[in-house]
């Protein structure tokens, strides 16, 4: 049984019936959400600036399709769960359960959610050489199912065991359970104090309206 209580799935995301959308409509909804996310600059656990943006040689549409489909073929339709994950992004980056540095050099922000079944949302960040700036490479969810009823939490445990470094764990009990016997190096208190992440910074070109961030007109 999980040592951390999964957060209920965002009300905003539940109100959007993704299953009833055509692939084109699903991509259009996701495109609008990604543009909202890309208008922000987040401040990560180690004060790194995190942005949603494509690679220099990658178009915006290619970036969007990668987020929605992963390594699937371009002609395949968007994955519903990967699409819904875009509505979890703010919570996962701003208030993660766990942050680790993977062996491939990328940083993974993880948070457990529940929409009747537990699901682990991961946002993978590519960092520059001094680790002060990060680009979100991908975002995806892993959900429990009838055959694997504890799949999400087991994946979280495995990610910890295989991590190059544990940067942050929000819950002390979870930290004790996941790090016992782990070969991963814990980040020092100086590097990553066990605290709640700070608020995000809103980049120029955005404004707050009724507590929500909205992109300002050009």
DSSP code of residue 76: S
Return the bridge partners of 201, or none.
41
Residues 6 or more apart in contact with residue 50 via CB below 8 angstroms: 41, 42, 43, 44, 93, 125, 134, 135, 136
Helices and strands, number each (H, E), in the chain: 7, 11
Count of other CB atoms within 10 angstroms of residue 17: 7
> Whole-model pTM?
0.76
- Give the per-residue pLDDT at 173: 76
**Helix 60-69 / helix 23-38 crossing angle, nearest 10 deg:** 110
Supply the pLDDT for residue 121. Answer: 95
| Predicted local distance difference test score (pLDDT) of residue 81 | 86
Specify the 3-state DSSP secondary structure of 160. helix
Domain boundaries, the chain: 7-184
- Measure Cα distances from 80 to 16, 47, 62, 149 in Å: 11, 32, 17, 20
- Report how far residue 207's alpha carbon sits from residue 81's, in angstroms, rounded to the nearest whole number: 29
For CA atoms 70, 107, 168, 184, give the dihedral sign.
Answer: positive
Phi and psi torsions of 41, nearest 5°: -125, 120
The whole-number pLDDT of residue 122 equals: 96
> In order along the chain (218 residues), what is the average pLDDT of each group of 10 residues?
56 60 89 96 94 95 92 74 91 94 95 86 94 94 85 90 92 71 51 39 28 34
Residue 180: per-residue pLDDT: 65
């Amino acid at each position: 049984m999980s040592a951390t209580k999964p957060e209920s799935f965002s009300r905003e995301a539940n109100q959007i019936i993704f299953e009833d959308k055509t692939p084109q409509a699903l991509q259009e909804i996701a495109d609008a959400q990604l543009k909202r996310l890309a208008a922000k600059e987040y401040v990560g656990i180690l004060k790194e600036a995190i942005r949603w943006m494509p690679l220099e040689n990658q178009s915006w549409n290619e970036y969007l399709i990668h987020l929605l489909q992963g390594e699937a073929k371009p002609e395949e339709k968007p994955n519903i769960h990967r699409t819904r994950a875009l509505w979890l992004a703010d919570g996962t980056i701003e208030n993660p359960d766990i942050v680790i540095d993977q062996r491939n050099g990328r940083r993974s922000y993880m948070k457990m959610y529940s929409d009747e079944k537990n699901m682990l949302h991961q946002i993978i960040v590519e960092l520059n050489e001094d680790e002060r700036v990060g680009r979100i490479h991908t975002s995806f969810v892993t959900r429990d199912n009838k055959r694997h009823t504890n799949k999400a939490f087991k994946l979280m445990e495995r990610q910890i065991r295989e991590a190059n470094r544990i940067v942050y764990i929000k819950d002390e009990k979870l930290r004790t359970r996941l790090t016992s016997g782990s070969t991963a190096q814990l980040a020092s208190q100086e590097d990553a104090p066990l605290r709640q992440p700070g608020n995000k910074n809103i980049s120029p070109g955005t404004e707050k309206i009724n507590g929500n961030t909205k992109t300002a007109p050009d």
